[in-house]
Structure 1
Amino acid sequence: MMVKFTDDIGAMEEALDTGGPTPAEDNEYFHIGRMIAVSIVHGGPGLCCLSPNFFLNLIGKEKKIEAPIEDIPDDEVRKALLEIKDATSLNELRELTEKHSSMLQTAGCYRFMMNLEDKKRIVDEYMQWYFIYRNQFSIQSFLHKIIPKNIM
C-alpha cells in the first residue's frame, strides 16, 4: 500500500509511506554508529554531518535549537514562517496564523495572537518542533543505539 501526503492546499508533500520498515526497525542507526566508531578508532573523521546547534542539543548541552528560518528545506513552511515573522500589524498576524493554522496546530503552537510580539514566540516554537520534536523518535533511537551510555 502506498500513501501520498498532501498539505492544506492539496499540494503533494515530499513524504511517502510505503509501509516498509523504518530506519530504526532495520537497525540502520546501529550500523551507522558502528561505521562512525570504526572510523574514529582508526584515526578517521567522526560524525561531521550534524549542525553544531543540533549536536549540542543532542548531547544535552543546549535545550533549544537556534536556527534561521532559511534552514527549513520545505519551501511552503519556510514561506509561511517568514510571512508570520514579517507581519507588521496585529490584524495581519492574526490573519496569517489563521491562514497557516493547520501547520501551526500540527506543531502544537497555534494560539490566538494577543500582541505583535507573539509572532517571535510562535516562530521559535515552530522551529523547535520542526527540528527537534517531530523527529524525537529518531533522535531517541539514535541516542540509545549509537552513543554509548558512558558518554552521555
Structure 2
Amino acid sequence: MIAVSLVHGGPGPGFFSQVLFGSLVYGPESVAPKLEDVADFEVAHKIQQIANAATVEELRTAIKNNDDYLSFAGCLRPVHSVNDKEVLVKDMLHYHVMNHVRGPFERFRDGIKTLGLLQQVKTFPAVFSPLFCHKPEKLTAEKMDNLNLLLTRGK
C-alpha cells in the first residue's frame, strides 16, 4: 500500500523509525539499535540492568536474573570482565529490535519492492527519509493553546 501510494503521488507514511528506514536501505545487519528503539518496557528493563552493571558481580547477577530471555535470544554467554556487557547489550538490542521481527520485516521489505520503490529508496535515501521517517516536534505553549482551541470549538 505504501509503495502504490507513493508511486501515485500520495503522502509518505511518516512513521518509520531511523532503524527501520536504515534496515530497508542498508540492510538489518548494518543498523545499530539503541535502547530507545525497544518498545517493550520489560525487555528494555532487562537490557538496562545489564548496561548499568558496574562490576563483574553485578553483571553476573543481572545475567542470572535474565538468563531465560538471554538464552532464548541466543545471547547467553560467560562474562569475564565488566567490559563484556557492551557486546551483550549490543546483541540483545539487535536480537529484540531486528531478529525478533525478521519474518515480518522481510515481507514488508518485499512489499516496498512493489513498482520499484525500494530500489529508488536505496538509490536516493536522503530524498526518501523525510517521507518515511517520523520527526518529533517540540511541544510548545503555542501548540498546546492551538490544540485547546480546536478541542473547545468541537464541543
**Which bracket does the TM-score occupy, shorter chain normalised?**
0.5 to 0.7
Give the whole-Å Cα distance in 1 for the aligned partners of 2:28 and 2:104.
Answer: 18
Structure (1/2) with the larger strand percentage: 1
Counterpart in 1 of 2:74? Answer: 108
Give the whole-Å Cα distance in 1 for the aligned partners of 2:32 and 2:58.
Answer: 26
Higher normalized contact order (CA 8 Å, seq sep 6+, divided by chain length): 2
CA-to-partner distance for each residue in 1:22-78, whole Å, 9 max, x for gaps? xxxxxxxxxxxxx32342234222232211222121222563333331332222211
TM-score (norm 1): 0.68
Q: Is the 8 A contact 2:3 2:111 kept in 1?
A: no
Q: Is the 8 A contact 1:37 1:46 kept in 2?
A: no
Cα 1:71/1:142, change in 2 over 3 Å: closer
Q: Which moved more, 1:92-101 or 1:50-59?
A: 50-59
- Over aligned residues, Cα RMSD in angstroms? 2.1
Q: Is the 8 A contact 1:39 1:45 kept in 2?
A: yes
Q: Number of paired residues?
A: 118
Show structure 1 runs of 5+ residues with no match: 1-34
Structure (1/2) with the larger helix percentage: 2
Q: Is the 8 A contact 1:65 1:131 kept in 2?
A: no
Show structure 2 runs of 5+ residues with no match: 123-155
Rg larger in structure: 2
Percent of aligned positions that are identical: 29
